Structure 1
Amino acid sequence: MIIDGIACIHIRATRPDQKLKTAPFERLVPIHSKLLTFGFLGYVTKVKEAGNERVFPGLTCHKKHGYSAAPSKWFTRVREQLAFRDKAAKKDFHSFRHTLTDHLKQKGVSESLVGGSLGYQSVGIKFGRYGKDFRPDVLASVIELVALESF
């Protein structure tokens, strides 16, 4: 979806097979310019034209782990094939979120902006209770700080 000229992904649960851990996980996340350059919006259009409601229609919903089960297994297989296994750190598919948080932290991004991008809940009553979600134009600059080559 496009909000104020910014291409975004709306992360939300609108069907029974979708779930969010908590309400703050629902958010608009601007799409990184590199993904736009690679044709992500064209891909989404083709998927929708084919009659699919989900961006990645090939994923199946696991009873316990939802749609993340198959990508997590895929990541583990690729990690093993490429010998990226780090027994001390035990990195898995969900480690990307921690890596991204640290990446943005090291770039000096405030905790509230990182939280707004990744769906973490604000801890202070002023932001958590009374503040509205960050607008896409605010989060777009945060997303653009992500050096995709680093991952």
Structure 2
Amino acid sequence: MKFHEKLQNLRKNAGMTQLELAEKLMVSRQAISKWETGSAVPDLENIISICDLFGVSLDCLVRGIGTVETEEKIQDTAEKIVHQEHKREMKLKEKILLISAVISIVLLLGWKMNSISIAVIIIVWSAIGYVLYWNGRKLLELLSKSVRK
């Protein structure tokens, strides 16, 4: 697929008109039309702006190395990795909650709710809350990185 065909496909897939694309790139609509018909080629600065706007690599757009479909596959792979990481973290959280519940039950039954057992339960639950909070932050960071890419 040639540059002008890729540009037209990217624009249409984004649901943009030639005029909207021209406004975003700060060029005339006629320039976009010439680029899409193959009668003219944008300068390097505009090509880079097009890549940034549509989130494609320069190689994909200009040289034909990789395609939009390849980049979508990369995005899908990144999403799968994030999903797998999320599943691992959820299993860890489930284990932590199960262990903490067992510890709490043992403390409640074994010490008959004296002040020491209450303090230990509070400390255990605080530690669990802290671990879950930081794991949640890590998950959000992973998700935001994958969305940015």
Give the TM-score of the pair, scaled to structure 1. Answer: 0.22
Bigger RCO (CA 8 Å, 6+ sep): 1
The structure with more helix, counted as a fraction of residues = 2
